[in-house]
Copies of this chain bind each other. A is one copy, B any other.
Amino acid sequence: MPTLDEVFDDVRRRTDEALDRLVPAAGVAPTRLHEAIRWSLFAGGKRIRPAIVFAAGQTFGAAPEQLSTTAAAVEMIHTYSLIHDDLPPMDDDDLRRGKATCHKQFGEATAILAGDVLQTLAFKAIAEDPALSADVRAAVISAIASGAGTPAGMVSGQQLDLEAEGRSMDIDSVEQIHRQKTGSLISAAAASGAIIGGALAEELALTRKYAGNLGLLFQITDDLLDVTQPTESLGKTAGKDASAKKATYPSLLGVNETRVLAANVHSDAIAALGAINKDTELLHLLADLILNRTR
């Protein structure tokens, strides 16, 4: 069994190779657009979502070559959402992963277009993936579009998040936002891997349950990092949630209770894995990794 670091190195290498292949080179006209895309795509992202595609896919027996394009596509969708989320009418962020955000570097118009076309390129890549049957391509596009879309996906979660700013929120509303904004694309990433691996309907449902909790865990630990880490180690502006008066888990529950919640959500994710009759160690390790990133 390789270490988790080795697994992650392999995921990053395969994902970055696929991204480089699927996105026009920076020298292709219009160069500014392609430079902007690559600026954000290759900004040192941790490739968590691709890792989930690979881990879920390999759990159900898919070969890495069948997973790399879908993993890259999910990362493109994630990156488009970051570029648009950082725009002035949205979160208005200058810094992302320790670098200038796309619109600070290339201007707002180019950043809007770069995000738009990353989404287009993501679906194009899956539709044309020669490693997958047409049935699987259609099923994967459907899963990812549901997770990235509305009324229970990433964009509807972002809209709820927008509308929640400055309002008093209860814990259930915060959870609903996080499950949509972050959980649904992570769930789609896991489902895509499972679909490519040929998971049965029941296995797919358990994988989604695991990944929905993984996504929630990811957001809870993100909230924790925002209040416990300085800007330089975070790579984005720390304390942003508090200054935007966003309702977060730490603001509602306090840091200690939030840590307890994280442990419970982690347990829920692991419980779903327990009902899958496959070697789920990699998925288990991924959940541990996300839980432990606040330590």
- A contacts, CB < 8 Å to B: 24, 28-30, 32-34, 80-81, 84, 87, 89-90, 107-110, 112-113, 115-117, 119-121, 123-124, 127-128, 133-135, 137-139, 141-142, 145-146, 148-151, 153, 155-156, 158-160, 162-163
With A34-B150, A138-B134 given, is the CB distance from A112 to B124 under 8 Å? no
Identify A150's interface contact among B33, B84, B145, CB under 8 A: B33
With A34-B151, A134-B134, A151-B29 given, is the CB distance from A107 to B120 under 8 Å? no
Q: For the complex formed by this chain, how many copies does it contain in all?
A: 2
- Report whether A150 and B117 are in contact in the complex, using a CB–CB cutoff of 8 Å: yes
A84, closest chain B residue (CB): B112
A25, closest chain B residue (CB): B151
- Report whether B116 and A119 are in contact in the complex, using a CB–CB cutoff of 8 Å: yes
Chain B hits for A30, CB < 8 A: 150-151, 156, 159-160, 163
Chain B hits for A127, CB < 8 A: 138-139, 141-142, 145
With A28-B151, A89-B108, A116-B116 given, is the CB distance from A142 to B124 under 8 Å? yes
Identify 4 new A-B residue pairs, CB closer than 8 A, beyond the known A30-B151, A30-B159, A81-B116: A87-B112, A116-B116, A134-B138, A137-B138
- Report whether B33 and A156 are in contact in the complex, using a CB–CB cutoff of 8 Å: yes
Query: Which 8 A-B pairs give the minimum distances between C-beta atoms?
Result: A124-B145, A89-B108, A127-B141, A134-B134, A120-B149, A117-B155, A30-B159, A33-B159
